[in-house]
Chains A and B, each alone.
Chain A
């Protein structure tokens, strides 16, 4: 009974958070790569990423409402606005922190721009990208609760209904699964991180 009541919000929550996360990855990594090749784009992307990072989540979620309304898709947009930043930032840092000598020697080998990204820069950036995705996943999990305020449904709905009706059990039934998901995410990302370590940072050219 209880599990039935909880199942729908949990699924809604996961769909919400992880649709947004996947879109953020799909947008963020290419944007970071493009930023490598355009100084203007780089300045724009990095500056806005840094500024946006400081803005309170509630403000971001609120401002989405007058711009695109309420419901599932506006909620997705709000989550993306948060989750995109750490991904772009970390990817860009990972891509651009390759030793210039290695880039020069790859160019010397006759690799094209794209091949350098594929075989030199990206492998170098994997650990940073991974850390960015981990951070974004936990952030998405958190923001997806707040977006219930703008009608996304999910675990947040239980919290806000509970808050309005002073129903502690209802609030906890929204909060505890979300905490569980967070801890699970953290543990599984850490586990993957440990498994990746021996290979991380090694260029496939070597």
Chain B
């Protein structure tokens, strides 16, 4: 029975614990990426002239092969969860920061004109007008970051970070189709679900905050 085989792999390779571990690393990495990404987007918004150099460096990091980036981190922080999280954040800053920045600066000029004409302060306009209107954009950036993060957390499994990448590595090394299928399809489903949820949130933010 297929179900028995799945159950056997699931139990023998502790996939429940692995999944929890995986999602735990994922969540920490994503939250860190959101905080750092939004902050960088905001800082660049305040100091526009830093936008080109910051974005081109982030862009360069983005082109690095993920494994090469993990290798570069070994001399600095070794292997395991920490470098995995750092790599996730490094890759995810660009989409989040870029979308935050774009969202903040692309508020339509007449809204800003009216806001100023009403006597709203710049600070108020930033927090209560620009930010909410940038939400759909920021959510779009986070959605991209979710895909990146999911991919790198899985990859982290071969650099000692645990999670669902670890059983996949075992499966490949032992050439064990059962492990590969169960762990591979499971992590694929998780990724698609998370992406789907993010897509749903993004769409509803667009409906709620999007311009007409």
Contact = CB atoms under 8 A, between A and B. Distances in A.
A187 B153 CA distance: 28
A62 B67 CA distance: 16
A141 interface: yes
Nearest to A144: B65
A193 to B, nearest CB: 13
Interface in B151-179: 151, 153-155, 157-159, 165, 168-169, 171-172, 175, 177
Contact of A56 (B67, B159, B172, B188): B188
A186 B67 contact: no
Interface in A153-192: 156, 159, 162-163, 168, 171-172, 174-176, 178-179, 182-183, 185-186
Nearest to B179: A62
A11 interface: no
A146 B169 CA distance: 11
Interface stretch (B13-21, B28-36, B68-76, B98-106): B68-76
B172 A163 contact: no
B67 A175 contact: yes
Contact of B60 (A62, A163, A171, A183): A183
Q: Which of B66, B159, B172, B177: most chain A CB closer than 10 A?
A: B172
Given A62-B184, A63-B184, A65-B177, A57 B64 contact: no
A24 B157 CA distance: 28
Chain A interface secondary structure, helix, strand, loop or mixed?
A: helix
Interface in B105-127: none
B59 interface: yes
Interface in B182-212: 183-185, 187-188, 191-192, 194-195
B158 A54 contact: no
B24 interface: no
Contacts of A111: none
Contacts of A178: 65, 67-68
A171 B69 CA distance: 11
A59 B187 contact: yes
A59 B147 CA distance: 13
Given A159-B71, A175-B71, A179-B64, A56 B180 contact: no
A66 B181 CA distance: 8
B68 to A, nearest CB: 4
Contacts of A145: 65, 67-68
Interface of A: 51, 53-59, 61-63, 65-66, 70, 138, 141-142, 145-146, 149-150, 156, 159, 162-163, 168, 171-172, 174-176, 178-179, 182-183, 185-186
Interface of B: 59-60, 63-68, 71-72, 74-75, 147, 150-151, 153-155, 157-159, 165, 168-169, 171-172, 175, 177, 180-181, 183-185, 187-188, 191-192, 194-195
30 contacts: A51-B192, A54-B147, A54-B150, A55-B188, A55-B192, A56-B150, A56-B151, A56-B187, A56-B188, A56-B191, A58-B158, A58-B169, A59-B168, A59-B184, A59-B191, A63-B181, A63-B184, A65-B172, A65-B175, A65-B177, A66-B175, A141-B65, A146-B66, A171-B74, A174-B71, A178-B68, A179-B65, A182-B64, A182-B65, A186-B59
